[in-house]
Structure 1
């Protein structure tokens, strides 16, 4: 059965009237699966704040799952700031940040699936203001372009009307007084031409307008535009509308291409320059918005606290330099720095003790400089293995049922809670903290594994993306390999760079014709004392980022970005994708069987 959806225009905080009408309609024609609100959702005057707060603070229940895009109005900053900080709203979320039970904020831009329907949205208004909420940025526009590459959008939600939507419409169908001079957005028009949704829903004009379906250029299906009025408007224009669209994914080609008798030509093809492909507007350095589809809660860099005295300078120990120079109140102790470089716990060096105990991966005793590198490595490896590392083959805790190939220095295994089928890990057999510290001999074997995985993915119509987060905590290295459909590979640089921008950093980008040259570059780029994240893309592009001191970097960043590209945000967290050991073993056996002809050690 097709889902039943309610659509609403500007709520303006009048939630009593809105939900009274929703319940009335539900009794006569329901039940309904969801309510989408476009246009301004928050009050337009302080007088309505108490009524509005009763709902968002849970004193009055919202009767139906409700999603809104108009994140502006009286009280918006307070409510949305609180929602942004909720633990349940952290990470990669495109299906709505929960405000309260049954109320979800569609922030920035995104695309998700609800009851089989593909829903895309562009929240807020186009604005040059520096306000935190209520506007969209060029990043949001770029994200929508990338997410909707397959043109599979059932519903597209925007606040503003698209410029030109009344072109080629029957004159009797156009509401009186409607024009493009106010409340219309040319960027929305450009997006609609590219995305080609089956339904486009907008608010902010204060009138109800159900345009005749129009035929899309280079697409078989038609688009229906619906403009909705404000809740409680004096003209009694329709502010609530019901639809029951069949999801595109379940329709046959003939059903999708059926043209109603009143269909018109595309209204936007008359716009100036519409025949030429639309290019993204150049982003300025000031055009940075919180409303982006890569949604991370980026904590502020922590300030160093403590009293002056004999303690070593943290900055000097960790990086080898301190910008405070002689003005620094802490010791620039070279011996302490050398101990740190030999793997001694930083807390142990500075405080004389470590409160993490057995959970700490570093040494809790000073190291003799006379020890050889090989002795220190061996001692460190043995200490870590004794803690039953998940990835050391000699550990009794290793998940052996996930292993699909074993070489001389590396093995290949499936991860727990894989992002997609054929998601794999390439892991050193010995306890190494990252793959960038390996010898040239080991690097050669790693390259063999990478090339084999590339070939295997290619045989299934996919390209390989490799990424690794290098931690200073001494965890066991694992290079992640994720297959991405070859048709989407060209989107990867833009997707990762946009995600980086929202986290407040910029990737160092280099492109190599030979992947081994890319690995050599990464080994030189990595400074061994800081955290490091890098991605190897199918076209030879290498993206890298050295983590700053105390930088809060999402441990699942690479996975979350790819989950967005692949339109599976619900799988961004590996813990939510966990399956039984029996299912894991079955998947590993299937991968091993298909990978066998590509395995360099078979």
Structure 2
């Protein structure tokens, strides 16, 4: 029988990690063991006096003894510490379960949800921001992500916020309410609106400087009650309670009768339901109806290249992702080259097109595909950065082609199983001749591509699925591949909302190119792409095409489409194709199974 998770809740830490973990050690000895600490309120120091002690833990001079999650991303040194964490390679992509700051310390960024020891945890990090995102501020996009979470099946177990919800002390005796709570500061109407929709079993907040355990209250249109805890700051002079232990059984394992139990002191919901509902509908964005998915986290910043006259790459930028010289650097800060370097491509090969060390070099002397590829074998000798067909792992005539992944071959394109597929039946549509994009295919090639797409759509509908197609076109002439990923029909309505929210997190808005017939949408897409820039587009099941021109200085994630869909499908660990690689024997089995099922729909079998 599974053990019920045991969690400690903490109020504003204010950098006092020594006091936090001293109290943890004491509580853990008497009532443990505990699985994690969840911190609300301001996590970072209030003044520089506390900074040295705090940084001892961040820099590893002192050990953090238990997994600790925090949402109060503001205070002294927070921009420096959090910027460094956000730029760590392991923290890029879909990271709703926390960005790792140092061993055992995780930053819950923005608004989202994740599962912790079987418990469903939602969070809204920081305080309300009237404009753009900054550390310590939440934005409208973060709120939208949580509104989407409301539509998810199941009952959220825990909701973490920094601010108290406005009105939480309504409908209780004033004798039971600490006098400090009558001050309306640190009370947030948006948090109140969200908690009405989310209906968590536990709502935890800080920032008020006082401990308050509210009587449980009943939720509208739900069987279960919500318990609210406001926690005091760590080490506060008034000796208010700053740490509280809970051991809730995950709602996903509870029966309806267990969920519906109401303590005798249960009150009515304290919030003004009608006002909150009206506010939610007023502020709702187009396309927000029925989004059925979790969201994702990127902290990818736009960076400038170096001086345009230089063709050499900056080693500092390629190795670390940043350069202290910034725009004054005379070398190129190239995001694509950094991605290649991170995948093991030789710096000299990237910079010069060749490496003098030859076979003694331990790094790759060919470019690695930015997405899932049919092959990526290392050639015996180096080559120029501009790939030719004989070296390309996608060209059908290439000696490096892994032909066992091929499913069907036409006159202009072939279909192949993706290497490291996100889901079963994840395939690629690839031009036979070396081409930088499927948008540059001849009219006959376009017609064949459309037939392939229609066949895949029909095939997937027989399995209760829709298909999402996307392509990332780079300026480096990589061999084109249009990715086709099946999505359950129950999640299809959320795809547009999710891609638009992901775009906003990266600082751009998609252009909606067409929302009607799929073939006409593709024709319009071709007419808008000039072939001179980077470009990403996604074709949605309802015919909508979303496009984005990737600017010269934009650090656009190579696996953007895959990362977004991994969030939709709740398989964030598969956002990177390298986590999904299987043996050649397994690949052969997967391809043969797909061929067998797809044969009746294959346009090349007619």
Cα distance between partner residues in 1 of 2:499 and 2:52: 42
Query: Is 1:496 the equivalent of 2:493?
Result: no
1:439 equivalent among 434, 442, 449 = 442
Query: Is 1:385 the equivalent of 2:395?
Result: no
Query: Is 1:64 the equivalent of 2:66?
Result: yes
Cα distance between partner residues in 2 of 1:184 and 1:236: 22
1:200-246 per-residue CA deviation (whole Å, 9 max, x = no partner) reads: 21111122223333333333433222221111123322211122223
- Alignment CA distance shift 1:571-1:383 (3 Å): closer
1:97 equivalent among 74, 96, 99 = 99
Query: Is 1:53 the equivalent of 2:38?
Result: no
Match of 1:355 in 2: 352
Structure 1 range deviating more: 99-108 or 80-89: 80-89
Match of 2:167 in 1: 164
Cα distance between partner residues in 2 of 1:516 and 1:103: 49
Shift of 1:261: 4.3
1:326-349 per-residue CA deviation (whole Å, 9 max, x = no partner) reads: xxxxxxxxxxxxxxxxxxxxxxxx
1:291-327 per-residue CA deviation (whole Å, 9 max, x = no partner) reads: x9531322412143449xxx9xxxxxxxxxxxxxxxx
Query: Is 1:464 the equivalent of 2:467?
Result: yes
Cα distance between partner residues in 1 of 2:7 and 2:404: 45
- Alignment CA distance shift 1:454-1:252 (3 Å): farther
The aligned length equals 530
TM-score by length of 1: 0.81
Cα distance between partner residues in 2 of 1:40 and 1:360: 45
Cα distance between partner residues in 1 of 2:265 and 2:402: 61
Shift of 1:85: 2.9
Matches within 5 A, 1:366-515: 384-387=388-391, 389-515=392-518
Shift of 1:433: 2.0
1:580 equivalent among 578, 583, 588 = 583
Cα distance between partner residues in 1 of 2:244 and 2:61: 27
- Alignment CA distance shift 1:585-1:26 (3 Å): farther
Cα distance between partner residues in 2 of 1:116 and 1:417: 27
What SS class does the counterpart of residue 20 from structure 2 fall into?
helix
Cα distance between partner residues in 2 of 1:205 and 1:52: 22
Contact kept in structure 2, 1:426 and 1:480, CA below 8 Å: yes
Cα distance between partner residues in 2 of 1:12 and 1:597: 64
1:559-596 per-residue CA deviation (whole Å, 9 max, x = no partner) reads: 11222233332222111222333333333344334434
Cα distance between partner residues in 1 of 2:115 and 2:219: 23
- Alignment CA distance shift 1:36-1:513 (3 Å): same
TM-score by length of 2: 0.80
Contact kept in structure 2, 1:65 and 1:102, CA below 8 Å: yes
Shift of 1:516: 0.3
Cα distance between partner residues in 1 of 2:419 and 2:252: 29
Cα distance between partner residues in 2 of 1:164 and 1:592: 59
Runs of 5+ consecutive residues of structure 1 not aligned to the other structure: 284-291, 312-352, 362-379
Contact kept in structure 1, 2:302 and 2:553, CA below 8 Å: no
Cα distance between partner residues in 1 of 2:427 and 2:133: 42
Cα distance between partner residues in 2 of 1:270 and 1:474: 55
What SS class does the counterpart of residue 445 from structure 1 fall into?
helix
1:513-569 per-residue CA deviation (whole Å, 9 max, x = no partner) reads: 210001111111111222211111122211112222343321111111222233332
- Alignment CA distance shift 1:119-1:587 (3 Å): farther
Higher radius of gyration, 1 or 2? 1
Cα distance between partner residues in 2 of 1:154 and 1:405: 47
Shift of 1:424: 2.3
- Alignment CA distance shift 1:497-1:267 (3 Å): same
Match of 1:547 in 2: 550
Cα distance between partner residues in 2 of 1:128 and 1:360: 44
Contact kept in structure 2, 1:535 and 1:542, CA below 8 Å: yes
What SS class does the counterpart of residue 20 from structure 1 fall into?
helix
- Alignment CA distance shift 1:130-1:423 (3 Å): closer
What SS class does the counterpart of residue 484 from structure 2 fall into?
strand
Cα distance between partner residues in 2 of 1:141 and 1:245: 26
Match of 1:288 in 2: none
Matches within 5 A, 1:179-328: 179=182, 181-270=184-273, 272-274=275-277, 278-280=281-283, 293-306=296-309
Runs of 5+ consecutive residues of structure 2 not aligned to the other structure: 287-294, 312-349, 355-364, 369-383
Contact kept in structure 2, 1:110 and 1:143, CA below 8 Å: yes
Cα distance between partner residues in 2 of 1:213 and 1:593: 56
Structure 1 range deviating more: 119-128 or 205-214: 205-214
RMSD across aligned C-alpha pairs, in angstroms? 2.9
Cα distance between partner residues in 1 of 2:149 and 2:398: 42
Cα distance between partner residues in 2 of 1:196 and 1:595: 44
